[in-house]
Chains A and B, each alone.
Chain A
């Protein structure tokens, strides 16, 4: 089961094979969790939405026609579930519409990351990014999606995704310099 391609797993799930579905969860849970952590900035929320998203996948897998890659379709469900969750939490509404510029202003202070490993350091910096930017960075760098695939998942245009990635990189750079992290990272 572990070596089966996504398409075959999907076919088996459509046929009612629960073992195939379990394998699909094992295959995608970490990636989806990473994405949700970046979007929701909270472990408990991420775990709850992760479960909801997988349940949606189970009940809507018949709608997947195989025109796009399964991963793209899956990320779209995860993304939309997270958005619904954020919308339902009114206090988080601001985060959705947050502009990248305004978020960068809120980052102050110089000693956030004492004795931290590079990976944790960069992860912390990503967590500081606004929702949209963190999402695009996560999908592009960690999940390895192309600009076109990210556009499909998020319903943004490809140009919009490029702009978001451009701004996110700029912001990451700015944070690194502002916090004097350049030497730490080298």
Chain B
């Protein structure tokens, strides 16, 4: 009987009682004082729950969230800036190697350091020769130069952004 009462009281609260179930619930409440007490408690709880207002979050929350996002974005930009710097340096190095037209014996870039041992020079030379064979001047002009220009523009944009962010903070 108790289980039946629980089921009916829930259906009542949700407005799902059929006519016969409604009569059944009324009968249970009239016959049993404890059921009547529980019914009253349930109705009151349900009504109060329905009128509950949401608690107010502290006022500083929106500002704190925006600040945290801006910090995250700045950190992300810094990482990107470093990555682009690395890529730019690498590209410059690659361009220097590829544009440099000297024969293997007086290859300036790697001969600058006369202190390096012969083996190191030979390895470097092999890499350079391989790159030269793989690419040609046209390829260098068509691919490396636009890439360099792109990187330079990106760097410029990042620097301008940094200045903007600094001014904001």
Contacts and interface: CB of A to CB of B under 8 A. Distances in A.
Contacts of B37: 177, 182
B66 A123 contact: no
Instruction: Say what secondary structure dominates the interface of chain A.
Output: helix
A10 to B, nearest CB: 16
B132 to A, nearest CB: 44
Contacts of A121: 48
B45 A47 contact: no
A170 interface: yes
Given A30-B57, A33-B55, A142-B54, A51 B65 contact: yes
Interface residues of A, number: 40
A58 B62 CA distance: 12
A41 interface: no
A55 B10 contact: no
B39 to A, nearest CB: 9
Given A25-B62, A54-B65, A173 B53 contact: no
B41 to A, nearest CB: 5
B57 A122 contact: no
A34 B38 contact: no
Nearest to B38: A173
B82 interface: no
Contacts of B15: none
B34 to A, nearest CB: 9
Chain B contact residues, majority secondary structure: helix
B49 A55 contact: no
Contacts of A29: 57, 61-62
Interface string B33-56: 000011011101110111111111
B64 interface: yes
Contacts of A165: 10
A51 B56 CA distance: 14
Interface in A51-107: 51, 54-55, 58
Given A176-B41, A185-B44, 8 more contacts: A25-B65, A26-B62, A29-B57, A47-B58, A122-B45, A123-B55, A177-B41, A186-B40
**5 nearest A-B residue pairs (beta carbon):** A33-B57, A141-B49, A34-B54, A29-B57, A122-B48
Interface of A: 18, 21-22, 25-26, 29-34, 37, 47, 50-51, 54-55, 58, 118-119, 121-123, 125-126, 137, 141-143, 165-166, 169-170, 172-173, 176-177, 182, 185-186
9 contacts: A25-B61, A47-B61, A50-B61, A51-B68, A55-B69, A122-B52, A141-B49, A169-B46, A185-B45
